[in-house]
Amino acid sequence: MEGFVETIDSALQTADYGSLAAVFSYGPSSWHSLGQGEQRSLASYLIETAVGSPTFLPRAFSSTQVRNVFLETLKHLPATPVEGAADNKLRQMLFDYNVNEEGDYSAAAGVLSGMRMHDDRDSVYYFSAAEKCDVYVKIAECFLEEDMIAESDAAVGRAGSVVESIENADQHAALILRYKSTYARVLDSNRKFLQAASRYHDLSQSSGDLIRAEDLLTMLGRAATCAILAPSGPQRHRVLGHISRDPRLDQLRGLSDFETHATILTKMYGGQILRKEELVGFEASLQPHQRAIMGDGLTIMERGVVEHNMLAVSGIYRSIYVDELALVLGVGNEKAEKIVATMILDGSLEGSIDQVENLVLFHSNDSPNGAWDRAISSFCMELNRVTDGVRSIET
Which range among 64-73, 169-178, 228-237, 365-374 shows the weakest confidence by mean pLDDT? 365-374
| Mean pLDDT in residue range 77-87 | 93
Which range among 43-57, 181-195, 373-387 shows the weakest confidence by mean pLDDT? 373-387
| Mean pLDDT in residue range 363-368 | 55
Which range among 36-40, 169-173, 304-308 shows the weakest confidence by mean pLDDT? 304-308
User: pLDDT digit string (tens) for 16-46?
Assistant: 999 999 999 887 778 888 889 999 999 999 9
Q: Could you tell me how many residues make up the chain? A: 395
Domain annotation covers residue 201:
yes
Note the pLDDT of residue 248.
95
Q: Which of 255, 285, 315 is the last residue of a domain?
A: 285
Closest by CA to 117, choosing from 106, 132, 101, 100, is 132
Domain annotation covers residue 380:
yes
| Mean pLDDT in residue range 166-182 | 94
Closest by CA to 344, choosing from 301, 297, 307, is 307
CB contact at 8 A, 42 and 34: yes
Instruction: Look up the pTM and report it.
Output: 0.83
How far, in Å, CA of 109 to CA of 207, rounded? 30
Q: Provide the domain count of the chain.
A: 2
10 Å CB burial of residue 144 (0-12, 13-18, 19+) is: buried
Is the model more confident about 90 or about 358?
Answer: 90
CB contact at 8 A, 294 and 335: no
Q: Say which residues have a Cβ less than 8 Å from residue 170's Cβ, sequence separation at least 6.
A: none
Q: Indicate the DSSP class of residue 319.
A: E
Residue percentage of the chain with pLDDT more than 90: 64
Domain annotation covers residue 35:
no
The range of the structural domain enclosing residue 241 comes to 191-285
How far, in Å, CA of 315 to CA of 366, rounded? 9
How far, in Å, CA of 114 to CA of 91, rounded? 8
Domain annotation covers residue 232:
yes
Note the pLDDT of residue 375.
52
Q: Which of 254, 285, 316 is the last residue of a domain?
A: 285
Domain annotation covers residue 335:
no
Which range among 10-19, 263-272, 283-292, 308-317 shows the weakest confidence by mean pLDDT? 308-317
DSSP line for 221-259: HHHHHHHHHSPSSHHHHHHHHHHHT-TTGGGGGGSTTTT
Residue percentage of the chain with pLDDT more than 70: 92
Round to the nearest angstrom and report the end-to-end CA distance of the chain: 82
| Mean pLDDT in residue range 295-319 | 86
Domain annotation covers residue 48:
no
Residue 230 has pLDDT above 60, yes or no: yes
Q: Say which residues have a Cβ less than 8 Å from residue 245's Cβ, sequence separation at least 6.
A: none
pLDDT band at 369 (very low <50, low <70, confident <90, very high): very low
User: pLDDT digit string (tens) for 246-258?
Assistant: 999 999 999 999 9
Residue 384 has pLDDT above 80, yes or no: no
Domain annotation covers residue 224:
yes
Strand spans (E) along 173-327? 319-321
Strands 319-321, 359-362: pairing is antiparallel
Q: Which of 285, 310, 339 is the last residue of a domain?
A: 285
Domain annotation covers residue 384:
yes
User: pLDDT digit string (tens) for 110-122?
Assistant: 999 999 999 999 9
pLDDT band at 302 (very low <50, low <70, confident <90, very high): confident
How far, in Å, CA of 66 to CA of 344, rounded? 62
Report CA-CA distances (Å) from 144 to 45, 99, 152, 298. Answer: 35, 13, 6, 26
